[in-house]
Amino acid sequence: MVDVIPQIVCSCILHCMAIQVGINMAYATVLVDGLESDNIENIPITETEESWIASLVTITIPIGSIISGPLMDRFGRKMISLLCCVPAIVSWLLLIFADSISTIYAARVVAGIAAGLSTVGLVYIPEITHPKVRTIIMCLVSAFVSLGILITCCLAIFLDWRKIAIVFLALNCCIFFSFLYVPESPYWLACFRNGMSDKKRVCEMRRSLRRLNRKQTMYEREYSRILEAYGNRTVSDEASESVVASVKSYYHSFTFPEAYKPLTILVVLFLLQQLTGAYVVIFYAISVFREMGGTFGRGLDENSALVMLGIIRFVMSLITAFYSRRYGRRVLCIVSAIGMAIPMFLAGMYMHFTVSYDENGNLQETMVEQKWLLLFFVLSYICTSTFGFVTIPWTLIGELLPVSIRGIGASLMIAFAYLIMFAVVKSYPYILRCISIEGIFFFFSFSSLVATAFVYFFLPETLGKSFADIEKYFKKTETRNATPRRP
């Protein structure tokens, strides 16, 4: 473990990009609640404006995500990591001086673009880490996202939304300067822009590799893996001479089984991830807790529940990172999805039998003293979702995709994931009116069961496998399917 300390340090610095993603999620509910309850600011909002504040980040993330793929392939992983901090800083400045809903919209749009550019981290980190520790380090991305959520939830107790924006402005400036310490990806230096035929880039690649792998045997093994990845790459350097040629080359790369098979798995996985509803509970946390009654007995209200949510997500993210190294991706995803289905079903049943409306439409509740039980079900759902299904799909992007399309493929996958997230988050207030919180809980439970079946039948294990091993797996499955059976 001592030999990979430089990789762990650099990865944790890069994971700081994920803190901003978590902040964007939790800040939505803090901002909406602050605007609704603060008469001093004089920025009134409607239900429609509330949904836009919550969802604008998710609809603009694909913009940053899509442009990050070509940019990270052309200018390098480190340069785009630095670039993603700039719009994040601008977004906080806009919020600090916001005096209208349109300025708040603009800030959320810019924040979404910044979060989309942070896609580079999901490509950068797997390329600078050893296969033995890559699984646990990639799982830490959820811990850093959860840390951003937790920081926001805790600050919301003491500060208003504008002062919180000042704190996050300072945080993003610190993150920007910390990125200067991290070396460029050796894989990018070798596999792009005539890497191995350019002596300067080869020397820079060796320096980066030496910084990340101090032990000679580790250095030599990783160097051989880079040479293997360079030999397997399918995007030619000549294709980068023109946009049309580059698009054609990428399209050709996507026709290989080691490209389209993992992409298909990831598309379905992200669709199911959003339909299980874990992100809805984060974006609308205070609103969800109020729909459940707002107070849960024993001194617990929606703000206390919000802090508990943040703590649970952070702690479970760390636990997930530890267990992912022992049990891998498949087991964690299956356990997580089953663990999401059960508490959501129980929460739906609780609402069904304890909540009703009289002839005048007034809410009537039974078992009021046991309402803490409902909070327990929802927090259990958050706990189990963070254990695998919220975490694992993001980490698989940097593992399943081949190096030749990893940049553009990752950006497309992130764009797709957040487009689905936008649709789910934006439609939540309207669906809530149609089927109530009870119906939403039942739907989340059913989606979790479907996710369990998909992972069991289609998701391969990546624990301890090199990038070359994963590519060979998808090539072999294609070969087996193409081979005719003998009578």
Same domain, 170 and 307: no
Same domain, 267 and 172: no
| Residue 250: inside a domain | no
| Residue 100: inside a domain | yes
Instruction: List the single range of 104-108, 248-252, 256-260, 383-387 with lowest mean pLDDT.
Output: 248-252
| Residue 81: inside a domain | yes
The model's pLDDT over 117-168, given as tens digits with 9 standing for 90+, comes to 888 888 888 888 887 788 788 878 878 888 898 899 889 888 888 999 999 9
User: For residue 109, what is the domain's CATH number?
Assistant: 1.20.1250.20
Mean pLDDT of 216-227: 84
Same domain, 139 and 220: no
Same domain, 458 and 334: yes
Mean pLDDT of 1-25: 87
Supply 303's token pair. Answer: 């703000």
Task: Please say which residue of 202, 234, 266 terminates a domain.
Answer: 234
Same domain, 175 and 261: no
Q: Is 235 helix (H, G, I), strand (E, B) or coil?
A: coil
Same domain, 203 and 142: no
| pTM across the whole model | 0.72
In total, how many domains does the chain have? 3
The model's pLDDT over 426-450, given as tens digits with 9 standing for 90+, comes to 888 788 888 888 888 899 999 999 9
* Domain housing 200: 188-234
Instruction: List the single range of 108-112, 310-314, 477-481 with lowest mean pLDDT.
Output: 477-481
How far is CA 125 from its chain centroid? 14
Residue 147: which of 324, 17, 302, 11 has the closest Cα?
A: 17
| Residue 7: inside a domain | yes
| Residue 242: inside a domain | no
Instruction: List the single range of 24-28, 290-294, 326-330, 459-463 with lowest mean pLDDT.
Output: 290-294
Confirm if 250 and 232 have CB atoms less than 8 A apart: no
| Residue 247: inside a domain | no
- Is residue 115 scored above 60 in pLDDT? yes
- Is residue 236 scored above 80 in pLDDT? no
**Rounded Cα–Cα distance for residues 406 and 123 (Å):** 7
- Is residue 110 scored above 80 in pLDDT? yes
Supply 224's token pair. Answer: 């051989």
Same domain, 165 and 297: no
Same domain, 319 and 222: no
Name which residue leads in pLDDT, 295 or 60.
60
- Is residue 423 scored above 50 in pLDDT? yes
| Residue 244: inside a domain | no
DSSP letter string, 267-334: HHHHHHHHHTTHHHHHHTHHHHHHHTTSB-STT-BHHHHHHHHHHHHHHHHHHHHHHHHHHHHHHHHH
The model's pLDDT over 307-362, given as tens digits with 9 standing for 90+, comes to 787 788 888 888 888 888 788 889 999 999 999 999 999 988 888 777 665 555 55
Supply 60's token pair. Answer: 């603009």
pLDDT for 442: 93
Same domain, 144 and 101: yes
Same domain, 290 and 393: yes
Same domain, 223 and 150: no
Same domain, 342 and 415: yes
| Residue 125: inside a domain | yes
Task: Please say which residue of 145, 160, 182 terminates a domain.
Answer: 182
